[in-house]
A = this chain, B = another copy of it.
Amino acid sequence: MAAPREPEVIRDKAAMRAWSRRRRAEGKTVAVVPTMGYLHRGHLSLVSAAAASADPVAVVVTIYVNPSQFAPTEDLATYPSDFAGDLRKLASTGVVDAVFSPADLYDRGTGRRAAASGGAVSCLEEEAGDGHETWVRVERLEKGLCGASRPVFFRGVATIVSKLFNIIEPDVAVFGKKDYQQWRVICRMVRDLDFAIEVIGSEIVRETDGLAMSSRNVHLSREEREKALSISRSLVDARTAALNGNTDCEQIKNKIVQTMTENGGQVDYVEIVEQESLVPVEKMDGPVVICVAAWFGKVRLIDNIEIDTRS
Contacts and interface: CB of A to CB of B under 8 A. Distances in A.
A143 B113 CA distance: 15
Counting every copy of the chain, the complex holds 2
Interface string A101-125: 0000111000001011110000000
A149 interface: no
A169 interface: yes
A182 interface: no
A189 interface: yes
Interface string A173-216: 00000000000000011011111100000000000000000000
A133 B166 contact: no
* Interface size range on A against B: 35 or more
Interface in A125-160: 130, 132-141, 143, 158-159
Given A137-B134, A191-B107, A143 B158 contact: no
A136 B161 CA distance: 13
A115 B133 contact: no
A163 B193 contact: yes
A277 interface: yes
Contacts of A163: 192-194
Contacts of A138: 133-134
A132 B277 contact: no
Given A137-B135, A141-B133, A113 B196 contact: no
